A and B are shown apart, each in its own frame.
Chain A
């Protein structure tokens, strides 16, 4: 069995490279995000009132198996310029140097370090979140449902924007633009 696997490895590596995947086959499954049914949304507060927005473009590299959490990993690259808060003025502010400075740091990165199961169908991912030039550890609890080759994950995590330097100078003041931002992910992925 071991012999056979070793023999097959180069073949698998080529096959997965052709298919656009990086690395050889792992025990945990590779998943492909269904972009149209997946969203990265956030809720911020401005002038004391909550508003919603989303990042419309992101790439996710997902390797996940409930029975191999140690071998699971998720890396998401978020295109900051794809922000949409249904307000053109605000969107152009968000990418400006005072906020995300998308010209200098065009992507935010979410890279998991470990997963743990907290209840059936409920997990927690400990991950490094990088926004601008700041990396901080965050814990994202999420619900996961796998049916056949389709998976749906949903989770929310609240971060403080000022921890990441989002809001420079006068915008470090959080009285008008709130510090807490809740990020909500809704991911639908297929196992090819």
Chain B
């Protein structure tokens, strides 16, 4: 498997980023909703810890991923219509923005709540803003609204992959799967 992507195929690094982050995003998202419903207690705090640590991991990875992405060619979108290819670009851009926006709003709202973020207990991030109850409540709402955007866009992303695979019968899904580099 080639490390770098080409104009026609995804490389190993990009595939790894994609699947590791897919798993992470789904985990952080699920934990986020789960912990929200737990009553205040040790268990809730434990899940909040994990949510924050994994969320910051997403932020770290998406930074590396963007650096990697702009430094290598990207395969073309395979949609037949231009509108499809534009929609794909917009969708991917949206996913990237959300991978930044979710951890950043989470980190900022933790700062505003004077609940600094520890990453797996290894180190503590600096507070981005001073404690501010009003700002915290606003950011909590934004974080919550964006979580719906994540659910929506990831859902569309997933359905689009299936549509390309089963309807258009192109390589969109296959070329992102691990293993042999799929040329097309």
Residues on B with C-beta less than 8 A from A176 are 42, 45-46, 49
Partner pick for A87 among B42, B115, B118, B124, CB 8 A cutoff: B115
Q: How large, as a class, is the contact surface on chain B? A: 20 to 34
Q: Quick one: which of A86-128 are within 8 Å of B by CB?
A: 86-90, 93
Partner pick for B131 among A46, A87, A89, A175, CB 8 A cutoff: A87
Of chain A, the residue at the smallest CB distance from B52 is: A47
Contact status B41-A49, CB under 8 Å? no
B104 at the interface (CB under 8 A from A): no
Contact status B48-A88, CB under 8 Å? no
Q: How large, as a class, is the contact surface on chain A? A: 20 to 34
Shortest CB–CB separation between residue B114 and chain A, in angstroms? 4
Partner pick for B114 among A87, A93, A170, CB 8 A cutoff: A87
Q: How far is the CA of A86 from the CA of B115 in the complex (A)?
A: 9
B30 at the interface (CB under 8 A from A): no
Shortest CB–CB separation between residue B56 and chain A, in angstroms? 12
Q: Quick one: which of A167-185 are within 8 Å of B by CB?
A: 170-171, 173, 175-177
Q: Pull 22 A–B residue pairs with CB atoms less than 8 Å apart, ordered by A.
A: A46-B45, A46-B115, A47-B48, A47-B49, A47-B115, A47-B118, A48-B120, A49-B115, A49-B118, A51-B114, A51-B115, A52-B114, A53-B114, A86-B114, A87-B113, A87-B114, A87-B133, A88-B133, A89-B113, A170-B42, A175-B42, A176-B42
Given A86-B133, A177-B45, output 13 extra A-B contacts at Cβ < 8 Å.
A47-B52, A49-B116, A49-B118, A52-B114, A53-B114, A86-B113, A86-B114, A87-B115, A87-B133, A89-B113, A173-B42, A176-B45, A176-B49
Q: Which residues of B contact A (CB under 8 A)?
A: 40-42, 45-46, 48-49, 52, 113-118, 120-121, 124-125, 131-133, 136
